Structure 1
Amino acid sequence: SQAVISGFISAAAILIGFSQLKHLLGIKIPQTESFFTTVISIIKESPNLNLVTFGLGIISLALLLYFNRGLGQYLKQKEIQESLIIPITKSGPLILVIGSSILVGLLHLDQLFGVKVIGEIPKGFPPFTIPNFDLNNIQLLGTSALAISFVGFMEAFSVGQFLASKKRKKVEANQELIALGASNITAAFTGGYPITGGLSRSVVNFSSGANTALASIITALFLMLTVLFFTPLFYYLPQTSLAAIILVAVGNLLDFPTLKRLWKYNKLDGITWCSTFIAVLITSVQQGIIIGVLISLILHLARTSKPHIAIVGRVENTEHFRNILRHPVTTSPHILAVRVDESLYFVNTKYLEDYLLKLVTEQKEVEYLLLVCSGINSIDGSALETLQRLIEDLHQMGIEFYLSEVKGPVFDQLEKVGFVDKLGRDRTFLSTDQAIKELSQRVSL
C-alpha cells in the first residue's frame, strides 16, 4: 500500500542518511542496521571528529545544495537557455567527484590529515564460475534464499513505485520480478551478491535527472569501462564527498506530507505509515518492511471485517435508492432493502449474518429481505455458505430473500455452483428499482 511504501522509504532515507554521517564526520562506528545504535555510536565518537574531513564534507554539501537550488535561479536571471540549465544544475555530483579527488590528491589530505578516500579498486571482472548445485546446499540455503528474494523484491518494487509516482509513471511488478530474477541468475555465475533495487543509488540516479532505463545502461557501460581501465583515477575520491552526494539525494525522500494527508483522510493508513516507519528504524530495512506489510494486512482485515451496511430507500420520484440515514427516502415496513459496501469473504460474513438477523428480528413486519449487491465485487466460499445458512434461517422466520444489482462476474460464480437455481432465478433482479416494484406488488396482494 501507499502507506507502507511511503513509511518505508522515509525511514530508510533516515537510516541511509545517518549511516553516511560517519564518512561526513570522519569517525569510526560499528556497522549496524539499528538506527538508535548508529545514533548512540555517532554521539560517542563525536569528540574524535576529523575537522578537515568534516570541513570538506560541509563544502561538498553546500556545493550540491547550490547546484540543486540556487544555481538554476541564477542562470535564469542571466537568461541562459533552459536546455542548458538542466544539464548544468545536474552536473553538481560529477563536478564534486572530480574536484574533490583532485584537491585531496594534490594536497595529500589523506596522508596529512587522515581524510578517508576510496583507495585502490580492483581492476577487471570477477572470474566466471559455475554455482554448486549440491542438494545439501539447496536444502541449507533454500529457506534463506526465499526470504531474501521476497524482501529484495518488496524493497526494489517499493523504491521503484515511490520514484515512479514522482513522475506519474507506472511500475510493472511482473517486469520488476523478471528483471530481478534474471539479474540474480547472472550474478550467480560471477559470485555476486543477491541483487535488488538500492535506495541510495536509485535516488542519486533519480536526482541526477534520469528518466528512462537508458540511464542505467549508460551507467553500466561507464562502470564497465571504469573497472577495466580507470579505477586508479578514483583512488583519491574522498568518502566524505560521496556521503554528501547521498545525503542530498535521500533528503528528497522524506515523505512526511503523505503521513499528514493519510492521517487526515484515513487514520488506519496513518497508523500503517507510522508502524512501518518505526519498525524500520527500530529493527532493520528488511524486517521493517515485512512488519509494515503484515500490519497493513492486519488493519485491512480489521477494516473489512465490519463492512459498511446501509438500509436503503427510494429517493422520491426517482429510480435511485440511498441510505435512509443520509437522504430523505421512502421505505416499506414489509420490505427491507440492505446494501453492503464490501466484498464478502470469510472475515466479514459472520458480521453480515448477525447484522441482518438482528434487523429482521427488530422489524417484525418485514416479509422480504433484499440484498443490494452493487458494492460487492466478490463472494468467497465461506460467504456463500453463510448466505445459504442465512436464507434457511430467514425461511424459518417466514421471510423471503432476494438479490439485486449482482455484478456479472459474481453472478457467473454463483450460477456456476448452482446458488442461483437453488435460490430461484425469479429472486434476482437487475436493479433495485425493479425489485422494489415487484415486491411492492406482492405485498399489496
Structure 2
Amino acid sequence: MIDRLRRFIPVLDWGRTYNGEALSNDLIAAVIVTIMLIPQSLAYALLAGLPPEAGIYASIVPIVLYAIFGTSRALAVGPVAVVSLLTASAAGQVADQGTAGYVTAALTLAFLSGGFLLLLGILRLGFLANFLSHPVIAGFIAASGILIAASQLKHILGVQAGGHTLIEMLGSLIAHLGETNVITLTIGVAAIAFLFWARKGLKPLLRGMGFGPKISDLLTKAGPVAAVVATTLVTWYFSLNERGVSIVGEVPQSLPPLTMPGFAPDLLTELAVPAILISIIGFVESVSVAQTLAAKKRQRIDPDQELIGLGAANLGAAFTGGYPVTGGFARSVVNFDAGAETPAAGAYTAIGLAIAAVALTPLVYFLPKATLAATIIVAVLSLVDLSILQKTWGYAKSDFAAVAATILLTLGLGVEIGVATGVAISVLLHLYKTSRPHIAEVGLVPGTQHFRNINRHEVETDPTLLTLRVDESLYFVNARYLESLIQARVTEGCGIRNVVLMFSAVNAVDYSALESLEAINRRLSDMGVGLHLSEVKGPVMDRLKTSHLIDHLNGHVFLSQYDAWQALTGGCRDAANLDRPPGQAHGRSANTIKTAAQG
C-alpha cells in the first residue's frame, strides 16, 4: 500500500531522505528562481492577455502541487511563452481581453487542460505524446517564437495593434506606425539591447571585476530584474506615464484568490479542443526538459506520473486565479544550475512568490509594459531555431515538408491551426512510413549462418526459395503491401517452390495482418508454393497460436533462418530486389553468389 502511494505521490519517496544539505541547496535555488520569476510571470501574463497578477498566481499553487505529485527533481512549473500565446489565442475567441469573460475563459482552459492531463496520467497514456514528431515540435516552437515576438512589438512601439497571424500583426503594426510613442520605443529598445548584452557580456564583465563564478552567474540571471528596476525608477522619476508610456499600474496585494472556472456547456465545448492542444504541447515541452535534466544526474522520471503532476498543477491554477501552466525550459535550467536537489525547491519558490504578491506588487506600479515586452522578446527569440529546415532538408525530405508546413501554417493561419496541423502531419507521416515497410530479400553470407540483403552483400541464393525479411511490425496499414509484394514476386516465373517470411524484426501482428497472412497462405497453397516462417519472436508466436494460421500453414515454422535454408534449398535461383514497386521486373541473371548493388 505504501509503495503504491509513493508511486502516485512521489513526495513520500524523496521526502524520506530529505536532509539539511538538500534544504540548503533548495533554498538557494529557490531564491535565484524567485528573482527570475517575478518579472517573467508578469510578462507572460501580459502575453496571455491577462492582468499581471495572474502570472504570479499561476506560479504559486501549481508549483506546490507539482512538487507533491511530480517526479522531476528540477522542473520548475509555471507560465511559459508558448502556452501563454495559446491561451491568448483560445480565450480571445470567446471573449474580449480585459473582460471578466476572458479571465473566466483562461481559468476554464486551465481546468480542462488539468482534467485532460490527469485523465491521461490515470490511464497511463503518456505514450500518446510520442505521436508529435520532434521536427514538427521544433517547427511549431520556432514559428510560435516569431509570433510571440511580433505580438510584443506593439508594446515596444506604444501603439494599439492586434491580429492572430504574422500577416495580421505586421499589417496592424504598419497601419499604426505613425502613432509610435518615442519614449516608449526608447525604453523598449534599450531594455532589449541590455537584456541581450546581459546574456553574453555581463558574466565576463563581472568575472573581470573580481566577482566569483557563483555570484557572477547569479547576477547575470538577475539581469531582467535590473532592467525592471531601472526602467521603473526612470518612469516614476520623470512621470513618463503622463507622457504616454503604458505602465503595469496597480497590482492587487494579495495571495492567490479562490476562483471558479466556467462550466457552461457552450464554453466547455468551445474550449475543449484548444485545451487538448495546450495540454499536449505543454506536456511534450515539460517532459523533454525534465528528461534532459534528469539524465544529467542519472535520475529518471515517469511520464505517466508527470501527467498527473502537471494535471494537478493546472487544476490548482484554475481555482487560484491562474491560467494553463507547464514546465518551463529557462526556469528549469536555472533551477537545476542553481543546485536544486528536490521538488521542495519549487515549494520554496512558491513561498517567495507569495511574499512578493503580498508585499512587493506596489513596487511594479510604474513598470513600463515595454520592459515586460522586451523580456518576452529576448526569451522567445532563443526558441527560434530555423536551422531545423536545413537539417531536415539534408536528412529526410518528408521531415522537411512537415517542419515547413507547420511553420508556414502557424505563421499564416495562427497557432491553433498550426499545432493541429502539426499533430495531423506527425500521425500521417508515421502511417505513410509504416504503410510501406522495408522488406528485404535476403540470402546466406558464404561461410556463415547470417542472412543479408541481396542488393547490399554478396550472398548465396536459391531459385526455388524466396526469403523475405520483414523489417516492421505488421498491422492494418501495411498488411496489404506485403500481400502485393509476395503475389508479384512469386508470379514472375522463377520457379519458386517455397517462401520464407523472416520475422526477426516483427514485434506485433494485428488482426488485419493476420487475415493477410492467412490470405497469403491460401494463395500460395493453391499455387503449390509452401509458406514458412522463421525467427518468430515469442510474444508474436503466442498471438499466432491463438488463431488458425499455424494449424493451416502449408509450410513450417523454423527456429532460425539458417534452419529454413538447410531444409529448403536445392540449387541456384534468380534474386529480385523487393525494394522496387511490386511487379517491376528485375532483369538480373542467375548466380549462386550475388554481387551487392551499389547504394
Does TM, normalized by the shorter one, top 0.5?
Answer: yes
| Deviation (angstroms), 1:167 | 5.0
The correspondence for 1:345, drawn from 475, 480, 490, is 475
Q: Bigger CA drift: 66-75 or 303-312?
A: 66-75
In 2, the alpha carbon distance for the partners of 1:171 and 1:260 equals 32
Identity of aligned residues (%): 38
TM-aligned CA deviation for residue 129 of structure 1: 5.7
Amino acid corresponding to residue 307 of structure 2 in structure 1: L
| Matched residue count | 432
Aligned residue number for residue 28 of structure 1: 160
**Counterparts of 1:147 and 1:334 in 2: how far apart (Å)?**
56
Structure 1 residues 421 and 223 mapped into 2: Cα distance closer, same or farther (>3 Å)? same
For 1:24, the aligned partner's letter is I
1:153 is matched with 279
Q: Does 1:428 align with 2:560?
A: no
With over 3 angstroms needed to count, the CA separation of the structure-2 counterparts of 1:146 and 1:412, relative to structure 1, is: farther
Letter in 2 for 1:11: A
Matches of 1:132 and 1:229 in 2, distance apart? 30
User: Are the structure 2 counterparts of residues 185 and 203 from structure 1 closer, same or farther at C-alpha, using a change threshold of 3 Å?
Assistant: closer
How far is 1:174 from its partner?
A: 2.1
Deviations 1:257-306 (A, max 9, x none): 23322222121111111111122212222231111010111122122211
Within 5 Å, which residues of 2 pair with 1:18-417?
18-30=150-162, 32-78=163-209, 80-111=211-242, 113-125=243-255, 127-128=257-258, 137=264, 139-144=265-270, 146-161=272-287, 163-164=289-290, 169=295, 172-190=302-320, 192=321, 194-197=323-326, 202=328, 205-206=331-332, 208=334, 213=343, 216-417=346-547
> Deviation at 1:182?
1.8
Contact 2:232–2:366 at 8 Å: present in 1 too? Answer: yes
Q: Distance in 2 between matches of 1:54 and 1:9?
A: 27
Alignment partner, residue 7 of structure 1: 139
Q: CA deviation at 1:168?
A: 7.3
Instruction: Mark the CA change 1:217 to 1:13 in structure 2 (over 3 Å): closer, same or farther.
Output: farther
More moved, 205-214 vs 257-266: 205-214
Shift, 1:370, TM fit: 0.3
RMSD: 2.6
- Output the CA distance in 1 between the equivalents of 2:494 and 2:567: 21
Shift in Å at residue 124 of structure 1?
2.1
Judged with a 3 Å threshold, the aligned counterparts in structure 2 of structure 1 residues 268 and 158 are, in CA distance, closer, same or farther, namely same
Q: Which moved more, 1:17-26 or 1:413-422?
A: 413-422
Aligned to 2:591: none
Matched residues in 1 for 2:410 and 2:303: separation?
23
TM-score normalised by length of structure 2: 0.67
1:166 shift after superposition: 6.5
Relative contact order (alpha carbons < 8 A, sep ≥ 6): 1 or 2 greater?
A: 2
Q: CA deviation at 1:151?
A: 1.1
- Residue 15 of structure 1, CA deviation: 1.0
Secondary structure at the counterpart of residue 217 of structure 2: helix
* CA distance in 2: counterparts of 1:141 and 1:27, whole angstroms: 31
Deviations 1:193-243 (A, max 9, x none): 652338xxx355357565565564344323322222322111011111111
Native 8 Å contact 1:204 1:246 kept in 2: no
Q: Hey, what's the Cα distance between the residues in 2 that align with 1:183 and 1:393? A: 58
Secondary structure class of the residue paired with 1:362 = coil
Q: Structure 1 length normalisation: TM-score?
A: 0.89
Cα pair 1:370 1:402 within 8 Å, conserved: yes
Per the alignment, in what secondary structure is the counterpart of residue 218 of structure 2?
Answer: helix
Given that 1:160 and 1:171 are in contact with CA atoms closer than 8 Å, whether structure 2 keeps it comes out as no
Shift of 1:33: 2.1
Amino acid at match of 1:51: V
